[in-house]
A and B are shown apart, each in its own frame.
Chain A
């Protein structure tokens, strides 16, 4: 009795603490129609990195040991909590009790071990086996304890355990995960009308008895931006997860029926630069370009003011962010002087290849071409199809400049690979990154991840432009939708309808 009382007291306290005074208490019931532009290629986040998959299933149908909360912090998912040994090598996860999959299978330490071991084998199709093959051994002293021993310290281990690649599948139903996902999440999969929508319904056996609030969630796939807005205005959909055209966000924000959040995401839009192609192999040239770009103007012209200027390859919504936007302030005179020093007193001509599928990329390309022309750099714009981009730019590195958004969080490690398409080769960065990965504590992580950001900013490896805005648009009655997207997900767990 005393325990029950204490439990209710804690719950009450949580509700009071987590609810701002002006908002109402969440109400149960109702259904939500969410628009997501791209249809996911399969529904298994452990088999493909496509963001569309995570946006539909992550935290809704599937959960991992660790979750990301709306503020970007790591919170307990299927693990109640975890401890890390002093040497940073052993992670002990205390798994939640009484967790079942939607098909009734129990989730326990054996299932978790099987999932982590399965993900480490490339033949099983996980696109990121490197997240898992640093694991030396996994022990299960009892049903609810998972002891993971790493081969070496990995500062991103918990971050990776919170990614879609590390969600827990049931041992029986894993084979059909692409078309019939079975997870432990608050919603269970109902059906996928291919080409149109994915439907899910509340899972009554969810481990948190207070969640979810909604009875049904449907993700509809509408690619055309004009059609998305028509569907929202006609009342066919309730939320557009992320609006593609920022100019329409402005228009919808003025409409009393809707609200728009201009939060942050994990994505960075950058002008990728081939560091081995002349004249961009010259540090002075890259720095001159960094001075020639007015980042706030790029945000204003390309994103209609939505988005945050960045100075390095790190989003403000990711922990350990360092604001380096002041490193190369907009200064065309300085840019011209640097170009002269580099041996290009009259500037030079170059080509920028823009992927046709991303409208922000084409717009930003035009704006940057104009800015660079003012310091004597004459850019020819070439629009390329996505397959061509993958082939010629990403794989064969046949390019000088391009423009693309990198959406994954914690992906600064790509600068440690000299054969990555930037072709950036710096021992100093590789050392700093290795130190960051080996950092055993918060202070160490903060120091070395900060150092990583500084090194690539100083080397002006790429044109660091802005962090993409989240821009969800919804009916005013939709409550609890995430304002920021610190991970790739459209988490509907705590969403509810205001009566």
Chain B
């Protein structure tokens, strides 16, 4: 186990180093002078030069990169040009929105996908299966932002039961905050549910054809026990893999839905930061998201062992 953790630790460091170098290089060659974008097209040349010097943009590549890595290692990180605060503080305050949003979305997705997937597999090629499959097809085809706007029109404009975007803040109005996250989580969750349902169904179908399932049935076990006690656990491995990938994607990819619902989350932060060329924020959020994806996948690896004891992580 220790060897495994060490191996994972080294690969995480390597990934983060490569990501940091890539994101820094990309932002370095990105067209558009950050100082000009920050100050606008009517700014005087003197102020532009002063801002470039203050941001260190007049320094060579390696000096700028080294300075950034140094600040990360010291634990201070960069300073947002737009908000005038430490990027680390920004990330932690935005994570308080994106984290719960992603969890809620995944909870909705799993709560829908597992029962529907199992139901469809057990009723293969019958009308119930066809209906579920048709539903997931729609789910796969609909883009998130459009579903978000539809939900908003229905729940906020038509029925008036939810607010149309915005976020009051956990400390001020806990229930209101939870409500504010529900519609965007539903929009994200429904689409994830479509993917997971299809996957659960196909994985379940495969397992149900295995010999041990036939044996279990032959023993005279109840169909319930066969499906939930024997088949489901084995069917879960591929579902878990996709779950992990989706979770990482959700943390990183709530960008569009956060913009539709104007949630002050990580996705909206990085989206605005790119437009405003708030480079310290872009760099560190991208780095953080890469780390989140790697860590979530690591947790998924651990959970394989919990689901299936035959899988050992230390490779012995």
Interface residues of A, Cβ cutoff 8 Å to B: 39, 41-42, 48-50, 122-123, 125-130, 176, 178-179, 193-197, 220-224, 226-227, 230-231, 233-236, 357, 385-392, 394-395, 408, 411, 414
Contacts and interface: CB of A to CB of B under 8 A. Distances in A.
Contacts of B276: 41
Given A125-B47, A195-B268, A390 B156 contact: no
Interface in B234-281: 259-265, 268-269, 272, 275-278
8 smallest CB-CB distances across A and B, nearest first, come from A387-B32, A195-B264, A49-B40, A122-B46, A391-B31, A127-B43, A234-B156, A234-B164
Interface string B23-64: 000000011110011111111101101110010000000000
A227 B265 CA distance: 17
B264 A129 contact: no
Contact of B272 (A39, A179, A197): A39
A355 to B, nearest CB: 11
B166 A196 contact: yes
B263 A41 contact: no
B256 to A, nearest CB: 9
A390 B31 CA distance: 8
A227 B261 contact: yes
B187 to A, nearest CB: 12
A123 B165 contact: no
Nearest to B46: A122
A48 B33 contact: no
A386 B262 contact: no
Given A127-B44, A129-B47, A41 B81 contact: yes
Given A127-B42, A129-B47, A176-B84, 20 more contacts: A41-B38, A42-B81, A42-B84, A49-B43, A122-B44, A127-B44, A195-B94, A195-B265, A195-B268, A195-B269, A222-B165, A231-B166, A385-B31, A386-B275, A387-B31, A388-B32, A390-B31, A390-B33, A390-B37, A414-B42
| Residue picked from B41, B44, B160, B268, most chain A C-beta under 10 Å | B41
B13 interface: no
A357 B259 CA distance: 15
A220 B7 CA distance: 47
Contacts of B90: 194
Contacts of B44: 122, 127-130
A408 B42 contact: yes
Given A195-B268, A386-B275, A224 B260 contact: yes
Contacts of A41: 38, 81-82, 276, 278
Given A41-B82, A387-B30, A127 B262 contact: no
B71 interface: no
B163 A122 contact: no
A125 B51 contact: yes
Contacts of B97: 195
Contacts of B167: 193, 196
Interface in B272-306: 272, 275-278
B152 to A, nearest CB: 5
| Residue picked from B94, B152, B277, most chain A C-beta under 10 Å | B152
B164 A391 contact: no
A197 B40 CA distance: 23
A178 to B, nearest CB: 4
B157 interface: yes
Nearest to B81: A41
A394 B36 contact: yes
Contacts of A39: 272
A176 B167 CA distance: 25
Contacts of A230: 149, 152-153, 156-157, 164-165
Contacts of A223: 259, 262
Interface of B: 30-33, 36-44, 46-47, 49-51, 54, 81-85, 90, 93-94, 97, 145, 149, 152-153, 156-157, 160, 163-167, 169, 259-265, 268-269, 272, 275-278
A127 B38 CA distance: 10
A390 B40 CA distance: 9
26 contacts: A42-B81, A42-B82, A48-B39, A48-B40, A125-B50, A126-B47, A128-B47, A179-B83, A195-B268, A196-B167, A196-B264, A220-B262, A222-B165, A224-B260, A227-B165, A230-B153, A231-B164, A233-B157, A233-B164, A235-B160, A236-B164, A385-B32, A387-B30, A388-B31, A390-B33, A392-B31
B50 A221 contact: no
A236 B47 contact: no
A387 B277 contact: yes
A163 B85 CA distance: 27
Contacts of A408: 42
Contacts of A220: 166, 262
| Residue picked from A197, A222, A224, most chain B C-beta under 10 Å | A224
A196 B262 contact: yes
Contacts of B81: 41-42
Contact of A193 (B39, B149, B169): B169
Contacts of A194: 83, 90, 93, 264
A236 B163 CA distance: 7
Contacts of A221: 262
A484 to B, nearest CB: 22
A41 B281 CA distance: 13
B13 to A, nearest CB: 30
B277 A48 contact: no
Nearest to B151: A230
B213 to A, nearest CB: 49
A50 to B, nearest CB: 6
A265 to B, nearest CB: 16
A123 B263 CA distance: 35
B28 to A, nearest CB: 13
